[in-house]
């Protein structure tokens, strides 16, 4: 039976870590993820886990420690944010190409510069093509539940890729919410023991991890990584189905909210979904057929499934909480528009870049986006497709 508690998102992640009791935690603090290693250090001091807690001198060293531990056959975890994740950049690729199932708790914070400690998704989105699985949470419950599923996904023999479990800095990481926890015994049973097929420790024949890969072999290994990312889709759904059977909470690649007859819809990631859901209900009460798709799994990207969810919608606003600097929109927009390209009648689509560096986004702001979509439906004119929403400017805003 689930246990009712009140926890911040950071404490929820640390609790999940304690229940799993990983072999190695490589720790270096950075706001707003600092509380995760702080809580876990107390668990270590109190003898509640058997984890080797390694305090390192930088985030680069943190990920390097995880790589060494995972290569040896250990279950390795860490946590970071923002510039910390960027400092790991080189070794993120090493972890993925070495097929090491490391679990990283990413507490999303805007990526320097200018220096800022508030939330957007620029840190994890900057690493979106590093070969890591990425799963995002709307609230503290989802952060906890995603973490419980993470290792089953990343350690699966057909996947063996590292995984980021992402949540919004301060908005969920520090806010205290009601949450359902599972018993330590049930968590351990669900996650299971890690039994790596290949490891440096306990072998009687040579094994190379992360060697120089010459031309006749490197591309083949890259293709194997790509296939593993494809394989992860089935594993994610299988693990989610078992999670629902075990604990009663349902997850998929994304959540469809009031999409059954939606004519206008948003596609977004993270805690803003709660604000958008309130707006959807407000508009529904006024007779507006508004809907919402909240992306949970960004890597691998659920292209075919998302296209099916949007196929009957007339106009869509993709809301990017990260600037892509592509000159034509953010990363979620690029993926979503590509997903809908082959639909017989794709919806008219715009990108709304919002909330950068913690800029607030309220229900009335979301309503402006829906009203703009309704205008697109009415006139048939899409207008500007790449919009920055909520910034101070002397120019008249589109929204």
Crossing angle for the helix pair 184-191 and 215-247, to the nearest 10 degrees? 140
pLDDT value for 188:
98
pLDDT value for 206:
85
pLDDT value for 396:
67
Which tens digit of pLDDT belongs to each residue from 172-226? 999 999 999 999 999 999 999 999 988 999 878 888 888 899 999 999 999 999 9
pLDDT value for 394:
74
Rg (CA), the chain: 21
Token pair 């120089």 in the structure block, residue:
212
**CATH entry, 3-247, from 3.40.50.300, 1.10.3720.10, 3.40.50.970, 3.20.20.70:** 3.40.50.970
Do the beta carbons of residue 353 and residue 329 sit within 8 Å? yes
- Integer Cα distance of 364 and 354 in angstroms: 14
- Integer Cα distance of 373 and 45 in angstroms: 54
pLDDT value for 202:
83
* CA-to-CA separations, 44 to 14, 148, 165, 236, in angstroms, rounded: 11, 20, 22, 30
Domains 3-247 and 254-388 share a fold: yes
Global pTM? 0.97
pLDDT value for 118:
98
CATH 3.40.50.920 fits 254-388, yes or no: yes
Listed as own residue / partner, the contacts of 190-199 with beta carbons closer than 8 Å and 24 or more positions apart are 190/148, 190/152, 190/242, 190/243, 190/246, 190/247, 191/20, 191/148, 191/151, 191/152, 192/152, 194/23, 194/73, 194/74, 194/75, 194/101, 194/151, 194/155, 196/73, 196/155, 197/157, 199/71, 199/72, 199/73
Domain ranges within the chain, ordered by starting residue: 3-247, 254-388
Burial 278-298, CB ≥16 within 10 A → b, else e: ebbebbeeeebbbbbbbbbbb
pLDDT value for 194:
94
Phi, psi at 33, each rounded to 5°: -90, 0
pLDDT one digit per residue (tens) for the chain, 399 residues:
899 999 999 999 999 999 999 999 999 999 999 999 999 999 999 999 999 999 999 999 999 999 999 999 999 999 999 999 999 999 999 999 999 999 999 999 999 889 999 999 999 999 999 999 999 999 999 999 999 999 999 999 999 999 999 999 999 999 999 999 999 999 999 999 999 988 999 878 888 888 899 999 999 999 999 999 999 999 999 999 999 999 999 999 999 999 999 999 999 999 999 999 999 999 999 999 999 999 999 999 999 999 999 999 999 999 999 999 999 999 999 999 999 999 999 999 999 999 999 999 999 999 999 999 999 999 999 999 999 999 888 776 677
pLDDT value for 113:
87
Listed as own residue / partner, the contacts of 242-247 with beta carbons closer than 8 Å and 24 or more positions apart are 242/152, 242/190, 243/145, 243/148, 243/149, 243/190, 246/186, 246/190, 247/2, 247/145, 247/182, 247/186, 247/190
pLDDT value for 205:
83
User: Cα torsion for 258, 356, 147, 268, to the nearest 10°?
Assistant: 20
Do the beta carbons of residue 108 and residue 166 sit within 8 Å? yes
Do the beta carbons of residue 382 and residue 376 sit within 8 Å? yes
């Amino acid at each position: 039976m689930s246990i009712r508690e009140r926890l911040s998102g950071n404490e929820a992640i640390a609790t999940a870590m304690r229940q799993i009791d990983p072999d190695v935690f490589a720790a270096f603090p950075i706001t707003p993820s600092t509380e995760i290693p702080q809580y876990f250090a107390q668990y270590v001091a109190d003898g509640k886990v058997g984890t080797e807690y390694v305090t390192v001198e930088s985030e680069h060293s943190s990920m390097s420690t995880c790589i060494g531990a995972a290569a040896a056959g250990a279950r390795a975890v860490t946590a970071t944010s923002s510039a910390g994740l960027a400092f790991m950049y080189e070794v993120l690729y090493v972890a993925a190409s070495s097929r090491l199932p490391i679990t990283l708790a990413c507490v999303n914070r805007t990526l320097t510069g200018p220096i800022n400690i508030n939330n957007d998704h620029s840190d994890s989105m900057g690493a979106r093509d590093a070969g890591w699985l990425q799963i995002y949470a709307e609230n503290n419950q989802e952060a906890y539940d995603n973490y419980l599923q993470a290792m089953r996904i990343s350690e699966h023999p057909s996947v063996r890729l590292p995984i980021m479990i992402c949540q919004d800095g301060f908005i969920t990481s520090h806010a205290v919410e009601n949450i359902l926890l599972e018993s330590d015994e049930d968590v351990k049973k669900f996650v299971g023991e890690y039994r790596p097929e290949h490891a440096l420790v306990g072998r009687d024949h040579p094994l190379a991890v992360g060697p120089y890969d010459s031309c006749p072999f490197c591309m083949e290994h890259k293709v194997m990584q790509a296939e593993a990312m494809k394989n992860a889709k089935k594993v994610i759904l299988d693990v989610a189905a078992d999670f629902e059977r075990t604990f009663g909470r349902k997850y998929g690649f994304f959540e469809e909210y009031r999409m059954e007859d939606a004519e206008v819809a948003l596609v977004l990631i993270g805690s803003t979904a709660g604000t958008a859901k309130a707006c959807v209900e407000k508009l529904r009460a006024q007779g507006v057929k508004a809907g919402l798709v909240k992306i949970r799994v960004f890597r691998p990207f659920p292209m075919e499934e998302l296209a099916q969810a949007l196929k009957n919608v007339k106009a869509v606003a993709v809301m990017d909480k990260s600037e892509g600097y592509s000159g034509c929109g953010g990363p979620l927009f690029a993926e979503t528009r590509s997903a809908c390209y082959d639909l017989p009648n794709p919806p008219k689509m715009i990108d709304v870049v919002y909330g950068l560096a913690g800029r607030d986004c309220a229900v009335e702001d979301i309503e402006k986006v829906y009203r703009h979509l309704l205008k697109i439906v009415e006139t048939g004119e899409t207008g500007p497709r790449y919009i920055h929403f909520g910034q101070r400017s002397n120019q008249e805003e589109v929204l």
